[in-house]
Each structure stands twice: as C-alpha cells, then as structure tokens.
Amino acid sequence: MHIYKRQNGYYYLKFLTPLGTWKNVSTKTKNKREAIQFLTGYQPNKPKLLILNKAVNFSTFSTKYIEYSKIHHSPSNTIRIQYVINNFKEYRANILLNEITQMNIEEYMRIRI
C-alpha cells in the first residue's frame, strides 16, 4: 500500500486486492501530510467470510471429493488423491473438518516420513 500524486495534484492510495488486482483510492487532498494520515487510517473493505454451521466429517468429505476428482482430474492424479486420503483416514478416522488443525497436518506428515 502506497500513495502517489497524479498530474491533477491529488494524492491517491494504491494497494493490491486479495484477488491480485491493483486498486486506486483518492485521498481527496492535495496535501501530502493529509494523504499520509489517510494512508495510516485507511482500512479497505475486506470480503466477509461465509461461516457454515454444518459439521462435516472427513469421511463424508473425502468420498465427495474423490467423486469430484474423478470428473475434474486425470486418473493418475485421482489415484494419488485417494492414496493420500486413505492414509489420512488411517491417521484420523472420523474427525470433523473444522477440527483439523495445522498441528494435525504436521503430525501426519511426520508419521508419513
């Protein structure tokens, strides 16, 4: 996020959006000090996350994902995905998706290596 001055004399704030595009926002001032104050106080609108209250276990998810994989991935990639999913099922049988943490993944990787 940075400010720059256009030929019209106004300062603009330029930043990268989560989608990877650049966005310019006018600070509505020709004074650099006021533009810097605008920069320090500016909070871009962040997209709101959709929170689902439905708990899904890993077994149900993996079955549906393998079906999806058969349609959208190559057969060799689907076999690889099935292999990884089956190994994770042996590690954690019926865990809910929202209970899977970074620590679970790291522990699983440590066991697999």
Q: Percent of the chain at pLDDT above 90?
A: 42
Considering the domain boundaries, does residue 53 fall inside one? no
CA distance 83 to 80: 5
Please give the average per-residue pLDDT across 78-85, as a whole number.
93
Is residue 8 very low, low, confident or very high in pLDDT (cuts 50, 70, 90)?
A: very high
Shared domain check, 107 and 65: yes
Shared domain check, 103 and 65: yes
Is residue 50 very low, low, confident or very high in pLDDT (cuts 50, 70, 90)?
A: low
Which residues pair with residue 59 across a beta bridge? none
Helices (H), strands (E): how many in the chain? 4, 3
Considering the domain boundaries, does residue 26 fall inside one? yes
Please give the average per-residue pLDDT across 85-112, as a whole number.
86
Shared domain check, 78 and 36: no
Shared domain check, 68 and 23: no
Domain carrying residue 95:
58-112
Considering the domain boundaries, does residue 49 fall inside one? no
